[in-house]
Amino acid sequence: MRSLADNLRAVRSRIDAAAIAAGRRPEEVRLLAVSKTFPADDVRALAALGQRDFAENRVQELTAKAAGLTDLGLDWHLVGQLQRNKAATVVRLGAIVHSVDRGSLVEALASAAERAQRVVDVYVQVDLGGPEGEIGTRGGAVPEDVPALADTVAEQPALRLRGLMAVAPRGEEPAPAFERLAALAERVRDAHPTASELSAGMSADLEAAVTAGATVVRVGTALFGARHLASGGGGDTAPVRPPESHQHHP
């Protein structure tokens, strides 16, 4: 059974190798550890190994873990879908939001940030599509709406547009989708030069994302192990850490 230290070394080696193969410097790519469903003790252990950026899918889990690990000074990210009524909670935590996908959410985040007198970093999430019947299931704004949505974010003094985020479509090779994402990101950067980041790539496809220009890769399974639902259908998760998995989730 692999340890967290082994997994972290393996993931960082993959990132470094992918960057070098793409003619990039490895330090251009930041690792975001997606700790959803895993205990705070695992986050603490990975932080002790030097990992500083952690992400959650759900606001409730983000809130609980951040509250229990305040002594570590970690940088927290939200990568899951965000409801407007939870925007203020995320702002209070100082989390970076990777999943801005509509104007109403921009307004909610900007309003909450102004009340809190802080600037919130955000990414616009792009829907890269997928097989028929699964369009939009990954979340995000359709590509043709992204430039206007990025403009809307940039107009808000309390928000800072960091760049774009996306998840590769299910059932397709990720490289063409990431190439489309990179082209869209370049268009957004032309209008907003400070929106220089690209959040893309997970455990199974990080190499393709780095090749396309990702500056942030979101990795969960390859670091923490597979996520399994406990029997009984209640939705509770029982994390285990088998040898490195390549299932297609963060």
Residue 199 has pLDDT above 50, yes or no: yes
Confidence of residue 129 (pLDDT cuts 50, 70, 90): confident
Contacts of 181-185 with CB under 8 Å at 24 or more apart are 181/126, 181/128, 181/212, 182/212, 182/213, 184/126, 184/143, 184/146, 185/213
pLDDT tens digits, residue range 74-88?
A: 999 999 999 999 999
Confidence of residue 249 (pLDDT cuts 50, 70, 90): very low
Residue 67 has pLDDT above 70, yes or no: yes
Taking the C-alpha atoms of residue 137 and residue 141, their distance in angstroms, rounded to an integer, is: 11
Read off the pTM: 0.88
Tokens encoding 87: 């925007």
- pLDDT attached to residue 132: 55
> Is the model more confident about 54 or about 234?
54
Taking the C-alpha atoms of residue 10 and residue 17, their distance in angstroms, rounded to an integer, is: 11
Query: Roughly what angle, to the nearest 10 degrees, separates helices 59-68 and 40-48?
Result: 60
- Amino acid found at 163: G
Buried b (16+ CB within 10 A) or exposed e, 85-117: ebbbbbbebebbbbbbbbeebbebbbbbbbeee
DSSP 127-185: ----STT-TTTT--B-GGGHHHHHHHHHT-TTEEEEEEEE-PPTTS-HHHHHHHHHHHH
Average pLDDT over residues 225-229: 67
pLDDT tens digits, residue range 157-166?
A: 999 999 999 9
Give me the percent of the chain exceeding a pLDDT of 90. Answer: 83
Contact between 98 and 30 (Cβ < 8 Å): no
